[in-house]
């Protein structure tokens, strides 16, 4: 116990933006400040079932605007991550604003991501609660590796390597899955998948109402 406490004092607790620590960062990201809210797609829609296309043009105003809109949409929906096909756009891009298990906040975007497969010897699966903005209201236990490394590009085309542990590792895996046409429901047994869809049917209208209230509050 004391060893763990000693280690925690040495952890750099600064917010990580695009994988790099920064000295200060606002509660609402600058991207979200600039963005507009878009509709979130719901499981069953075809765009969530197919692999997204790679981004080939970088540094464009359209790409920057999409990222801004995704950040605000994620914020309004109380999400930790959001993939482009979740706002109806067929591109390999996701955004995130997510804590890890140490409470360190990670913020950024990643384009054309590739998830490094962990070495089988060091691979540790953790089953923990997971939700999805496209499965509104449902939460299920999903097995994921406790560490993740994702390689990709930023909106200017600069290479990035983002590493995550704990809940942030889960987020990176979840969002990368989306871009290859998978939701977390695909990782569940048939019975658990039915349970998740039943939860969604029961709660989705309440979730949509909460999102609308939050979006309206931003407009005032």
2 burial type by CB count under 10 A (0-12 exposed, 13-18 middle, 19+ buried): exposed
Q: How many helices (H) and strands (E) does the chain have?
A: 5, 9
Question: Which distant-in-sequence residues (6+ apart) come within 8 Å of 13 by Cβ?
Answer: 102, 103, 104
Q: What is the DSSP string of 137-175?
A: T-EEEEEEESEEEEEEE-TTS-EEEEEEEHHHHHHHHHH
| Cα–Cα distance measured from residue 57 to residue 166, given in angstroms and rounded to the nearest whole number | 33
In the block, residue with structure tokens 């047994």? 189
Among 92, 91, 89, 70, which Cα is nearest to 81's? 70
Report how far residue 45's alpha carbon sits from residue 181's, in angstroms, rounded to the nearest whole number: 11
Catalytic residues: 175
Q: Would you give the DSSP letter of residue 117?
A: P
| Alpha-carbon torsion angle 174, 95, 75, 90, nearest 10 | -80
């Amino acid at each position: 116990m004391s060893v763990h406490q000693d280690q925690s004092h040495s952890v750099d607790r600064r917010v990580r933006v695009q994988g790099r620590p920064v000295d200060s960062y606002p509660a609402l990201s600058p991207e979200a400040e600039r963005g507009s809210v878009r509709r979130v797609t719901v499981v069953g829609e075809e765009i969530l079932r197919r692999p997204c296309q790679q981004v080939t043009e970088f540094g464009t105003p359209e790409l920057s605007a999409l990222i801004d809109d995704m950040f605000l949409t994620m914020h309004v929906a109380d999400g930790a991550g959001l993939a482009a096909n979740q706002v109806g756009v067929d591109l390999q891009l996701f955004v995130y604003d997510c804590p890890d298990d140490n409470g360190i906040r990670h913020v950024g975007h990643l384009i054309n991501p590739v998830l490094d497969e962990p070495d089988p010897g060091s691979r540790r699966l953790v089953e923990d609660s997971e939700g999805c903005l496209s499965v509104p209201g449902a939460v299920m236990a999903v097995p994921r590796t406790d560490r993740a490394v994702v390689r990709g590009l930023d909106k200017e085309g600069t290479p990035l390597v983002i590493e995550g542990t704990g809940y942030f590792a889960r987020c990176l895996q979840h969002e990368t899955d989306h871009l290859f046409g998978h939701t977390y429901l695909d990782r569940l047994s048939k019975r658990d998948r039915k349970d998740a869809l039943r939860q969604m049917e029961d709660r989705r209208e309440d979730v949509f109402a909460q999102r609308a209230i939050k979006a309206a509050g931003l407009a005032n």
